[in-house]
Amino acid sequence: MHRRQFLQQTTLGATATIVTVGVQGWAYRSPAQTAKPKRLIVVFLRGAVDGLSVVVPYRETAYYEARPRIALPRPGGEGSILPLDKRFGLHPALRSLFPLWQQRSLAFVQACGSPDATRSHFEAQDYMETGTPGIKTTRDGWMNRLMATLPGRSPVRAVNVGSTTPRILSGPMTVASLPTGRNATRLTPLDRSQIRTAFDRLYNGKDTLSQAYQEGQLARQEILKELQADMQMADNGAPGAAGLAGDARRLARLMVRDPQVQLGFLAVGGWDTHVNQGSSKGQLATRLNWLAQGLATLVEELKPIYGETVILVMSEFGRTLRENGNGGTDHGHGNVLWAMGGPIKGGQVYGQWPGLATAQLYEGRDLAITTDFRSVLSPLLQNHLGLDQAQLAQVFPKYGFDQSVKIM
């Protein structure tokens, strides 16, 4: 039996099967290929990225009052935002994506997200990936249900970049997976064992200075351990943004080569910025720069099929309007959803802007949600992938559709 026959026969009848294949092993082709199949790629930012730093409401005085250290400068100054329109501007670390905005294939939906009020990363990610906010009993993900509505069957219809099945692709339909290029946890120079050992030897006595050092070091290690554990939990196993470009390139090349691959998923961790978030420079800016490079690489590699591809970038919830005492932000509510691709009516910030005055905030602290994320996805699935109302109801059950956000 040939390899492609083996793949076909062992996966089509399977339940919740993951086919792990390397780039070199991707040789399977269907005899009946569609000339220009429609594609959808979801990039999930785990850890709740700060949408108010991605698409900055620079006309809002409340934004600058609430964020004295981390607000992005208004247009014209050093490290200033890139103006999108008369109300919003793009973080300067995302500069490499700005040409897509100018070419009108990049759009944003502000104040978008899940209507469920949870501030738990796990719950919020699960709700957004199952497509049923507030319902814990849903076992499959909306992308897996989407696969069931698409014509034809193939073990490579959907590709997950990662070693484990994300909730969004969990379910009875077969999913292929590709390993990520990076999984390591990075440490700062201060945490190198040689430097720590040298200081430990220097201040190992019982004098006041040594005791202060020892207590401080113990506290630092405990805090670092807690922060790393918290970040890893928020990331839910997703690799950081630094390796995104390589993963994106491999996924794009597979999709270009094989018309059967209609759905792609990548998760990117590292967005839980409780401490030292930074402004136009700093922790968040560095990660956004990596993200922008990864997305720009994805678009470049998808060029032959970009006209038939939609890329969505989403996160489980936004962050607090007000910065905290550690120069970071905490778990919030409303966020910004990104949409890219040939079919997208770009160059616009969609959605109803609720404002940032205290009375306009959700629970007096967060950006309110005015657009349910399913209100963006459902017309997209209808217009881009051709789903009818019955099929939409399978993908997003118990949801009354709102067609007001037309990004295509």
What integer pLDDT is reported at residue 217 of this predicted model? 66
Whole-angstrom Cα distance, residue 97 to residue 187? 29
C-alpha separations of 130 from 47, 137, 335 in Å: 17, 10, 18
Whole-angstrom Cα distance, residue 320 to residue 340? 26
Neighbour-count burial of 149, counting CB atoms closer than 10 A to its CB (0-12 exposed, 13-18 middle, 19+ buried): middle
Beta-carbon neighbour count of residue 396 at 10 Å? Answer: 22
Neighbour-count burial of 107, counting CB atoms closer than 10 A to its CB (0-12 exposed, 13-18 middle, 19+ buried): buried
Buried b (16+ CB within 10 A) or exposed e, 128-138: bbbbbbeeeeb
pTM for this prediction: 0.83
What integer pLDDT is reported at residue 208 of this predicted model? 75
* Token pair of 132 as six digits: 């049923």
* Token pair of 117 as six digits: 């009020």
What integer pLDDT is reported at residue 294 of this predicted model? 97
| Half-sphere exposure for 140 (CA within 13 Å, toward CB) | 18
Phi-psi region of 309 (alpha: psi -120 to 50; beta: other; left: phi over 0): beta
CA angle (230 as vertex; 224, 235 as ends), nearest 5: 125
Whole-angstrom Cα distance, residue 214 to residue 216? 5
Mean pLDDT by 10 residues, the chain (408 residues): 40 42 43 72 98 98 98 94 98 98 98 96 97 96 96 84 91 86 48 70 79 65 58 75 89 91 95 96 96 97 97 98 96 98 98 97 98 96 95 94 85
Whole-angstrom Cα distance, residue 183 to residue 180? 7
